Amino acid sequence: MFRRIFIIYAALVLSVNLSAQTKSGLLAGVGMGFEKLSMDEMNADYEKGLRFDDIYNYNLHLGYRFRFEPSRKLFFDIDPLMKLQDLKCWEYYPPIETNPYASATVIARNVNFQLAVSSTFNLRLTEQFYIGVGVEPTLNIVTDGKPFDIPVLGRVGFDLGKVDVAVTYRQGFMNVVHDQKYKIGRTSDVNVSLFIPFNI
């Protein structure tokens, strides 16, 4: 169901934008991640004393941007994206009175592979500086958490003509970390992106 909704949304925004876009090009970025976790105390391993921790380290994304500029002040961006989230995960038994040392920790790295379509509404404050807000429906292809999320985002950017540099804050709402270990497993991130238009 989530995949059908995502595909329909992607097809709609792309069909509208392809007929009206005034600029398009390559988009790439990297960012640092943050996580909000709350353990599921009903988890069988948790009840046996095992504890978990997951740290969202960084993310990468690569995509293509379609930009529609109906006026000098306002413009819209549609970005089909491929994304990776890198998480460091470990499990351990905490120290107890009879054993003041924690047991050996199991450490692993998980990678969430995602497909997303970001859509933003942007306002130029000067010829080069702009701000924007939007949503980014995301399909999680490889994950231990929920398969779908709809993060909201805020952006500040500089349009330098031949290249556009932007900083984006993105806040997710679904448990995309691990829905068996955590009741809450939301992620957010701050990333820097580079947009290189081909038709300027």
Contact between 155 and 167 under an 8 Å Cβ cutoff? The reply is yes
Per the rule left: phi > 0, alpha: psi between -120 and 50, beta: everything else, 187 is beta
Quote the pLDDT of residue 91: 82
Quote the pLDDT of residue 180: 87
* Residue range 147-178, pLDDT digits in tens: 999 999 999 999 998 999 999 999 999 999 98
Quote the pLDDT of residue 9: 53
Quote the pLDDT of residue 5: 53
Residues (pLDDT < 50) of the chain are: none
Quote the pLDDT of residue 15: 56
Quote the pLDDT of residue 128: 94
Quote the pLDDT of residue 47: 83
Quote the pLDDT of residue 12: 52
* Residue range 111-124, pLDDT digits in tens: 889 999 999 999 99
Residue pointed to by tokens 């985002």: 153
Taking every pair of Cα atoms in the chain, the longest distance, rounded to a whole number of angstroms, is 71
Quote the pLDDT of residue 103: 63
Distances (CA, A) of 179 to 34, 38, 49, 147, 173: 17, 10, 18, 10, 13
Domains, the chain, with CATH or none: 2-197 (2.40.160.20)
